[in-house]
């Protein structure tokens, strides 16, 4: 019997530690094992990832590759530049692969892609081995124990999790890896027989294509930002399993911080260092195992005893929230990241960019605002020039570094949707999708739904003020001074509301509050606020009341499944 010839397909599991799928691959005792990563045009050309996230991904790939080489000098992370759906049918045959192994991914696009690949592999007689390892519990098992429905609260998640069992303890990283086999790229058997292969020009074209599958030098090298056509990244945060494990070790060394962590008490204004772990981008790319994170924290919590925090506020509580969104998406599927066709997301007639009412299609000035204004507000929000320094500082921090604190995300998301601009959450989620290092479709959409009160949370009368919420954490406005340098010399009395500063105070601080931030904002100036926040809050809350059917239907509220309940 031939010994297994295994392709291990790395995707969002760029690590060696605690990888159930990698362990399954090694348990096959393969003769050869190819650790590969395939370029996916869905991400390379279509998806909206910015340069900072690409750099983070490349860091993770490079770090993983050198860890692989440390275990076997003949091996590395081999990068193939072709869509997995078209590449695998050719590659599995050409390399005489017996097993294809990868970690389960329940993201809607990933599921579709993996189905196509798995079908092709099975058709070619290749065994497909898939293991869960991206979440604390297998999201599909959670859904199965929740009657096939999405988990819309932590209580629901935890009650399903109880039936699935305890979070598994992490698995150690392998101590050695098998050699890779040959990697012929002669896929000629797929060239239609009508194409005359004797033609030199055709052969040359094919050679170029093969070379491009293996990279410009034909050595399956990890791509670079230049090759991908990206400018240099601006984020100070670098990726990779080594950094992730070191950062986690540093965090849990501080037992008090780890055991008593309470998310609502961490400051969104704190930077260098930030008040939370900043491990989310590592979790996204799988450079850090979430189970490793969970158990390292849980062990500290148990040893700490009395005084330790508990979910939902605790550090493990944050990881459970992550699982809640993953399981919700696993149940709903592709529609989870949108309102249309998603039965769990409340429809709200947000201002449309076209200035048309979403129900009647007529040009509207409903809710006392021209939709052209809403479009302008969206553009100003997106660029960090709203004239509200707290909002602008957070947005500029996001644009520059790719990460902001959870409550900073709350402020931005509430302000854009039900607490200011009344713009559709999907538009905000798209902006986050471009810029977040940790962009995770399930978590991003789920949290935007939470903040816009379209799912998960419904207390729309609780809004974040762009003035007093920041002041609560950061009286002096240090976060603003860092990211909105135009205002760095302004007296703290005015730092959150610079439009209130008398002209002589503006002069003294070397700034003038004028303009709308769009077009050519003059140097040494900062834009005026784009609206009166107090009035907007009132308008938005009234609009939300209508959207929730409050008032229109007496004391009843229409709930998400279309039925009615007493308020």
Which residues of this protein are in contact with ligand FAD, per CB under 6 A?
A: 263, 276-280, 283-284, 318-319, 321-322, 325, 405-406, 409-410, 413, 432, 436, 438-440, 443-444, 447-448, 451
CB 357 within 8 A of CB 364: yes
Residue 106 and residue 348: Cα distance in Å, rounded? 28
The two tokens of residue 221 are 């090298």
Candidates 346, 393, 340, 350; CA nearest to 374 is: 350
Q: Quick one: which of 374, 384, 44 has its CA closest to 224?
A: 44
CB 403 to ligand FAD: min, Å: 7
To ligand FAD, the closest distance from the beta carbon of 269 in angstroms equals 14
Q: How far apart are CA 307 and CA 301, in angstroms?
A: 9
Would you say 55 or 329 has its CB closer to ligand FAD? 329
Give the shortest CB-304-to-ligand FAD separation in angstroms.
17
Q: Determine the angle formed by the axes of helices 241-253 and 51-71, rounding to 10 degrees.
A: 90
Q: How far apart are CA 239 and CA 62, in angstroms?
A: 9
Q: What backbone phi and psi angles, to 5 degrees, belong to 38? A: -110, 140
Least separation, in Å, of the C-beta of 529 and ligand FAD? 22
State phi, psi for 37 to the nearest 5 degrees.
-135, 130
Are 357 and 547 within 8 A, CB to CB?
no
For the bound state, the minimum distance from the C-beta of residue 342 to ligand FAD, rounded and expressed in Å, comes to 17
Please, what is the minimum distance in Å from the beta carbon of residue 357 to ligand FAD?
Answer: 26
Which residue in the block uniquely carries the two structure tokens 């590969």?
Answer: 36
DSSP state of 43: I
Residue 387 vs 428, nearer CB to ligand FAD: 428
Minimum CB separation of residue 140 from ligand FAD in Å reads 18
Cβ distance to ligand FAD smaller for residue 179 or 262: 262
Closest to ligand FAD by CB, 92 vs 297, is 297
CB of 435 to ligand FAD, least distance (A): 10
Q: How far apart are the C-alpha atoms of 538 and 545, rounded to whole Å? A: 11
Is-contact 324 157, C-beta < 8 A?
Answer: yes
Q: How far is the CB of 6 from ligand FAD (least distance, A)?
A: 30
Closest CB to ligand FAD among residues 286, 477 = 286
Q: At what angle do helices 371-383 and 425-435 cross, to 10 degrees?
A: 20
Alpha helix (H) residue ranges in 308-357: 315-332
Q: Which residue, 64 or 437, is less far from ligand FAD as judged by CB?
A: 437
Considering beta carbons, is residue 40 or 323 the nearer one to ligand FAD?
A: 323
If you count them, how many residues does the chain have? 567
Q: How many CB atoms lie within 10 A of CB 364?
A: 18
Q: Toward ligand FAD, which CB reaches closer, 10 or 432? A: 432
In angstroms, give the least distance from the CB of 113 to ligand FAD: 20
Dihedral of alpha carbons 359, 360, 362, 367, sign: negative
Round to whole Å and give the CA distance between 394 and 299.
Answer: 34
348 CB burial (10 A radius; 0-12, 13-18, 19+)? buried
Q: How far is the CB of 274 from ligand FAD (least distance, A)?
A: 6
Q: Closer CB to ligand FAD, residue 146 or residue 410?
A: 410
Sequence-distant (6+) residues with CB within 8 A of 13 are: 19, 21, 22, 102, 103, 133, 134, 286
Distance of closest approach, residue 488 Cβ to ligand FAD, in angstroms: 26
Provide the Cα torsion 52, 57, 60, 62; round to 10°.
Answer: -100
Query: Which is nearest to 186 in space by CA: 197, 172, 200, 173?
Result: 197
Is 447 or 465 the residue whose CB approaches ligand FAD more closely? 447
Q: Which is nearer to ligand FAD, 76 or 427 (CB)?
A: 427
Helix or strand run (H / E) with residue 441:
helix 441-451
Taking the complex as a whole, how short is the minimal distance between the CB of residue 14 and ligand FAD, in angstroms? 15
Task: Name the residue nearer to ligand FAD (CB basis): 101 or 398.
Answer: 398
Closer CB to ligand FAD, 90 or 322, in the complex = 322
Structure token pair of residue 170:
């992490």
Give me the residue label for tokens 């397909």: 9
């Amino acid at each position: 019997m031939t010994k297994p010839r295994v392709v291990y397909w790395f995707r969002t599991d760029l690590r060696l530690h605690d990888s159930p799928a990698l362990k399954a691959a090694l348990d096959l005792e393969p003769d050869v094992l190819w650790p590969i990563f395939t370029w996916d045009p869905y991400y390379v050309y279509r998806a909206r990832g910015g340069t900072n996230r690409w750099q983070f991904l490349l860091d993770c790939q490079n770090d993983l590759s050198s860890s692989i080489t440390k275990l076997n000098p003949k091996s590395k992370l081999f990068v193939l530049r072709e869509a997995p759906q078209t590449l695998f049918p050719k590659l599995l045959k050409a390399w005489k692969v017996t097993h294809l192994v990868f970690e389960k991914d329940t993201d809607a696009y990933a599921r579709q892609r993996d189905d196509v690949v798995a079908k092709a592999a099975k058709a070619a007689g290749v065994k497909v081995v898939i293991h869960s390892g991206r979440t604390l519990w297998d999201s599909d098992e959670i859904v199965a124990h929740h009657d096939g429905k999405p988990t819309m609260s932590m209580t629901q998640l935890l009650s399903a999790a109880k039936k699935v069992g305890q979070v598994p303890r992490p698995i150690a990283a392998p101590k050695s890896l098998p050699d890779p086999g040959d990697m012929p790229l002669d896929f000629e058997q797929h060239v239609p027989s009508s194409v005359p292969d004797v033609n030199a020009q055709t052969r040359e074209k094919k050679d170029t294509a093969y070379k491009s599958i293996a990279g410009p030098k034909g050595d399956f090298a990890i791509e670079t930002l230049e090759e991908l056509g990206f400018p240099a990244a601006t984020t100070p945060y670098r990726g990779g399993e080594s950094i992730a494990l070191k950062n986690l070790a540093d965090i849990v060394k501080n037992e008090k911080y780890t055991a008593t962590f309470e998310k609502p008490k961490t400051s969104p204004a704190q930077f260098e260092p930030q008040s939370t772990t900043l491990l989310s981008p590592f979790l996204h790319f799988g450079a850090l195992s979430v189970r490793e994170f969970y158990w390292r924290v849980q062990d500290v919590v148990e040893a700490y005893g009395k005084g330790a925090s508990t979910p939902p506020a605790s550090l493990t509580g944050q990881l459970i929230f992550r699982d809640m969104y993953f399981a919700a998406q696993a149940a709903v599927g592709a529609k989870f990241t949108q309102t249309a066709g998603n039965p769990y997301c409340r429809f709200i007639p947000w201002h449309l960019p076209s200035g048309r009412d979403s129900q009647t299609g007529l040009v509207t000035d409903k809710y006392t605002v021209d939709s052209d204004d809403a479009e302008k507000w969206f553009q100003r929000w997106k660029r960090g020039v709203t004239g509200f320094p707290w909002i602008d500082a957070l947005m500029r921090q996001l644009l520059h570094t790719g990460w902001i604190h959870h409550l900073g995300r709350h402020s931005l998301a509430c302000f854009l949707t039900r607490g200011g601009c009344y713009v559709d959450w999907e538009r905000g989620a798209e902006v986050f999708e471009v810029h977040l290092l940790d962009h995770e479709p399930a978590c991003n959409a789920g949290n935007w739904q939470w903040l816009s009160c379209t799912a998960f949370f419904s207390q729309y009368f609780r809004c974040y003020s762009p003035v007093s919420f920041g002041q609560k954490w950061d009286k002096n406005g240090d976060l603003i001074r860092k990211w909105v340098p135009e205002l760095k010399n302004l007296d703290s009395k005015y730092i959150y509301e610079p439009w209130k500063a008398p002209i002589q105070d503006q002069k003294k601080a070397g700034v003038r509050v004028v303009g709308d931030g769009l077009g050519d904002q003059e140097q040494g100036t900062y834009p005026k606020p784009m609206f009166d926040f107090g009035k907007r809050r009132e308008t938005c809350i009234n609009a939300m009341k209508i959207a929730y059917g409050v008032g229109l239907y007496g004391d009843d509220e229409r709930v998400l499944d279309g039925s009615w309940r007493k308020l």
